[in-house]
Amino acid sequence: MINNYIHPLSIGGVTLKNNIILAPMAGVTDLPFRLLCARYGSALQCMEMVSAKAIMYNNKNTEALLEIHPDEMPVSLQLFGSDPEIMAAQAHRIEERPFAILDINMGCPVPKVVNNNEGSALMKNGKLVGEIVESIVKAIDKPVTVKIRKGFDDEHVNACEIAHIAQESGASAITVHGRTREQYYAGEADWDIIARVKQAVNIPVIGNGDVRCGKDAKRMLESTGCDGVAIGRAVRGNPFLFREVIHYLETGEELPVPTREETVSVILEHAEPSYKYEGEYTAVREMRKAIGWYSAGIKGGAKLRGRINEMETMEDLKEVVKCFMA
């Protein structure tokens, strides 16, 4: 090891094997994909966000989102909502499930979430942030973390204030995405705000935004002093990125790009649990999206993407992938 960029990370009473983690992404970090990321080295698998109210109302689709497999552990379950009592009650209700950490979503920029005063809308109400964190911390014994953004917009950059409130209310770690809600995912992530949050609190700070390779992860760790890195959009169709980043941080060496054969093998590996947990109809449609990501930038990828909408069954999927290899 050339330095200490890679190290175990303790969050509350949970110690992760390293400090490179899978960020939560709705529509991406489902169980089949989390299993792959765990295998390629991610130290913590963050689940798709789950509505506290949906849990309260016993929503059938939400039950599927709560599924956890032993091979992906440790897992962080991300809850969203805006009512401290409901969120605390539902956190307590599901605490027996095998997640290691409960994360509170304060970063989702999607209008239907924000317009309900949830997700990144919470960045506008520090008092409510404190009440939510404190109520959940009191309700469960597992560590509680918070994922926030730089602020709601450029006129309200308050990540340091919100992070401090969360810490004082009992949060065990903070993940900071370096964009405002108004930016969504446009422009560049502001890593300086991650550094400022790191200076503002004593609990672990995990940086998030624009880490696409090992060099990016190293730069983020060096420039911000953050304790860990959460990788999001760059791993879509690329769970190999965890292996690449960890190897680079440990050795300073870049790994070769995954071969077409390895990519195809992982596509099929991704499809198998999708079929098992979601059924053929849903699995095939989810894999259409995933194959689009896997094939980006690969020779012959455009041809593959041109055929994926023809897939209706798992046999179709295997045939399409087999043709890609020909």
The CATH number of the structural domain formed by 260-325 is 1.10.1200.80
Give pairs for 13-16: CB < 8 Å, separation 24+.
Answer: 13/143, 14/74, 14/100, 14/101, 14/142, 14/143, 16/43, 16/44, 16/74, 16/228
pLDDT digits 0-9 by tens, 101-156: 999 999 999 999 999 999 999 999 999 999 999 999 999 999 999 999 999 999 99
Q: Compute φ and ψ for 89, nearest 5 degrees.
A: -65, -40
Nearest to 239 by CA among 261, 218, 266: 266
How much is the pLDDT for 326?
62
Parse the chain into domains and list their residue ranges.
9-251, 260-325
Amino acid at 60: K
How much is the pLDDT for 2?
47
CATH entry 3.40.50.720 includes domain 9-251? no
How much is the pLDDT for 3?
66
Cα gap 150→219, rounded to integer Å: 19
pLDDT digits 0-9 by tens, 9-40: 999 999 999 999 999 999 999 999 999 999 99
Res 215 pLDDT > 80: yes
Q: Which residue has the higher pLDDT, 74 or 185?
A: 74
Q: How far is residue 265 from each of residues 245, 272, 296, measured CA to CA in Å?
A: 21, 11, 16
DSSP string, 9-58: EEETTEEESSSEEEPP-TTT--HHHHHHHHHTT-S-EEPPPEEHHHHHTT
How much is the pLDDT for 1?
38
Return the sign of the alpha-carbon dihedral for residues 73, 221, 290, 296: negative
Q: Which residues fall within 8 angstroms of residue 265, CB to CB, at 6 or more apart?
A: none
Q: Which residues fall within 8 angstroms of residue 187, CB to CB, at 6 or more apart?
A: 179
Active-site option among 37, 46, 108, 226: 108
pTM for the model stands at 0.94
Nearest to 208 by CA among 75, 227, 114, 200: 227
Q: Compute φ and ψ for 116, nearest 5 degrees.
A: -100, 15
Q: What is the mean pLDDT of the segment spanning 179-188?
A: 91
Annotated catalytic residue 37:
no
Task: pLDDT band for 206, please (50, 70, 90 cuts).
Answer: very high
How much is the pLDDT for 324?
73
Number of other CB atoms surrounding residue 170 within 10 Å: 17
